[in-house]
Amino acid sequence: MRAAITAIGGYVPPDLLTNADLEKMVDTNDEWIRSRTGISERHILKGEGLGTSDMAVEAVKILCEKRGISPMDIDLLICATVTPDHVFPATANIICDKIGAKNAWGYDLGAACSGFLFAVATGSQFIETGKCKKVVVVGADKMSSIVDYTDRTTCVLFGDGAGAVLLEPTEDDCGIMDSILKTDGNGRHYLYQKAGGSVYPPTAETVANREHFVFQDGQPVFKAAVVGMADVSAEIMEKNNLKSEDVAWLVPHQANLRIIDATARRMGVGSEKVMINIHKYGNTTSATIPLCLCDWESQLKKGDNLVLAAFGGGFTWGAIYVKWAY
């Protein structure tokens, strides 16, 4: 028995933050942003008291509608995020309450930009063991809540959004076929949010020092991402005897066009087989991969071989081989 993705849903908030908008906020320009990242605009969640759960709720509602199920049918909901509504309770609990998933239990999983992959791999185990019949995996982040809009190196990169997939058991030769996931905690020095945890709890000083925002040391992160994401994608192909012509789609985390290109080249996959929507959404962290699946859903065919790949803070990285189920 395998876990198959049987429905997907995605949501981005309506408000846009364009490169032209950012030109007015920091010393940057459209050409510089596009040539280095591939991003033209990103969606931002605005409104008092709105958080990650509110975007996730929309994505899960769409998923339930597409599959023709009630939230009451969900057994488990895992939410991958680095921008939870609160330190606790888990955002997954809040999502379940807001959608009326009264029979579900759930928890959050934190693996930064690889969070969705880690959560899909985790969720699929509950299906494979027969513990659960319907597992919803959410990748959602309100990155605008932890982005320093005076820091031109990071504020151009991130956007807000949510995506969700439904995992159900299948006896067919499809679903989550294999995964290779990796972490290296030594990378924590290059990409992190310094304050707000137990090491540096919030104080007037941490706020004044702008330590509640994303910090990124670009060069070491870029180098590790290029190698990590490309290597693990090639590794999962090799392990499953997949040749480049066998791969229908590469579904990469949308952090940077150059990292995506390096991964595709390593896999021997042409650009026509690579899902890219970074220009529209920027880096939505946990939501990038499910948002890609949503944008390309109409082009996916049953039996298509997909390689999902990501790299994120931690460092975390990995690849999942999915055989599309519908």
Per residue in 121-152, pLDDT (tens digit) is 999 999 999 999 999 999 999 999 999 999 99
> What 8-state DSSP symbol labels residue 283?
B
**pLDDT for the residue numbered 322:** 98
- Find the distance separating the first CA and the last CA of the chain, reported in whole Å: 17
Residues involved in catalysis: 113, 253, 283
**pLDDT for the residue numbered 31:** 97
pLDDT band at 212; cut points 50, 70, 90: very high
Residue 309 amino acid letter: A
**pLDDT for the residue numbered 115:** 98
User: Both tokens of residue 161?
Assistant: 């959004």
Cis peptide before 14 (omega within 30 of 0): no
Instruction: Please give the share of the chain, as a percent, with pLDDT higher than 70.
Output: 100
**pLDDT for the residue numbered 263:** 98
**pLDDT for the residue numbered 231:** 98
Tell me the average pLDDT across 282-293.
98
Mean predicted lDDT score pLDDT of the chain: 98
Tell me the average pLDDT across 81-101.
98
Q: Is the separation of the CB atoms in 3 and 175 below 8 Å?
A: yes
pLDDT band at 318; cut points 50, 70, 90: very high
pLDDT band at 210; cut points 50, 70, 90: very high
User: Whats the size of the chain, residue-wise?
Assistant: 326
**pLDDT for the residue numbered 77:** 99
Per residue in 241-270, pLDDT (tens digit) is 999 999 999 999 999 999 999 999 999 999
**pLDDT for the residue numbered 297:** 98
In angstroms, the CA 68 to CA 62 distance is 10
**pLDDT for the residue numbered 123:** 98
Report the greatest alpha carbon distance in the chain.
57
| Burial (CB count <10 Å: 0-12, 13-18, 19+), residue 135 | buried
Instruction: Please give the share of the chain, as a percent, with pLDDT higher than 90.
Output: 100
pLDDT band at 229; cut points 50, 70, 90: very high
pLDDT band at 279; cut points 50, 70, 90: very high
**Alpha-carbon dihedral sign for residues 196, 197, 198, 199:** negative
Q: Is the separation of the CB atoms in 275 and 249 below 8 Å?
A: yes
* Ordered domains of the chain (ranges, CATH): 2-171 (3.40.47.10), 177-323 (3.40.47.10)
Per residue in 53-62, pLDDT (tens digit) is 999 999 999 9
Which of 283, 310, 294, 252 shows the shortest CA–CA distance to 58? 294
